[in-house]
Amino acid sequence: EVQLVESGGGLVQPGRSLRLSCTASGFTFGDYAMSWVRQAPGKGLEWVGFIRSKAYGGTTEYAASVKGRFTISRDDSKSIAYLQMNSLKTEDTAVYYCTRDHGEMATILPYWGQGTLVTVSS
Amino acid sequence: DIQMTQSPSSLSASVGDRVTITCQASQDISNYLNWYQQKPGKAPKLLIYDASNLETGVPSRFSGSGSGTDFTFTISSLQPEDIATYYCQQYDNLALTFGGGTKVEIK
């Protein structure tokens, strides 16, 4: 059974950093692209970024709203995906979901974690 | 970036009604369009992928159609457990984009 468990959320001040982790199990982690999607309180879904599988270079893409501030990485040996968030803003407050793709490229999202809440506030 | 315009933003229908939601892409996305259902406090669930393919285990009252820029999601007979917010999502090589969502309620 595919399982994705996010951790690392919490309350952080504006301008500070936070790193989220997504621990995966139930599948060969390195074979799949991983995405992060967020949802601000009472709002819709917003794609944050993704990391392709190593077979596709392990390269990353980001939404314009986080580009240059957020970094996605992966450790295939530990089956963990990371979301490093720097220079956090109040508008980054959201539930952050880790997702596993249908395949090696970021296309279809059949698997989601339960989400972790990040609150950016002074 | 490709923009997705989803409508309506909310709707109210009776049990047994046919419900239709549309999603329009700002440029041709072929059939690279997925639909998700999200219930309050829960993670989204994939229902339809590549515009018209039903995800395993999803009831057949859910369906999708379309290609290019115009897509439709249909619930053939609304059930009480279908109360949720529905999102379309497109993908290209560089990004994913979600529609704004449609909240479905029972009349």
Secondary structure (H, E, C), B45-59? EEEEECCCEECCCCC
CB contact at 8 A, A22 and A9? no
Q: How far apart (Å, rounded) are the C-alpha atoms in residues A60 and B38?
A: 26
Q: What is the mean pLDDT of residues A57-77?
A: 96
| Residue type at position A95 | V
Residue B61: predicted pLDDT: 98
Answer yes or no: is pLDDT of A106 > 80.
no
Q: Which of B81, B94, B99, B68 is nearest to B42 (CA)?
A: B81
Q: How far apart (Å, rounded) are the C-alpha atoms in residues A32 and B76?
A: 34
Computed over every residue of chain A, the mean pLDDT equals 96
CB contact at 8 A, B101 and B37? no
Residue A76: predicted pLDDT: 97
A107 touches chain B (CB under 8 A): yes
Q: Which of B53, B34, B52 is nearest to B44 (CA)?
A: B34
> CB distance B100–A44 less than 8 Å?
yes
Tell me the per-residue pLDDT of B53-79, one tens digit each, with 9 for 90 and over: 999 999 999 999 999 999 999 999 999
Residue A107, phi-psi category: left (phi > 0), alpha (psi -120 to 50), beta (remainder): alpha
Most A CBs within 10 Å: which of B87, B96, B97, as the mutation test of the A interface? B96
Q: Which of B65, B31, B90 is nearest to A107 (CA)?
A: B90
SS3 assignment, position B30: coil
Residue B4: predicted pLDDT: 97
Residue A105: predicted pLDDT: 77
Question: In this structure, what token pair is assigned to residue A91?
Answer: 């508008």
Tell me the per-residue pLDDT of A11-61, one tens digit each, with 9 for 90 and over: 999 999 999 999 999 999 999 999 999 999 999 999 999 999 999 899 999
Residue A104: predicted pLDDT: 75
Instruction: Report residues of chain B scoring pLDDT below 50.
Output: none
Nearest to B44 among A45, A64, A108 (CB): A45
The band of A103, judged by pLDDT with boundaries at 50, 70 and 90, is: confident
Q: How far apart are the CA of B87 and the nearest CA of chain A, in angstroms? A: 8
The values of phi and psi at residue A56, to 5°, are: -110, 30
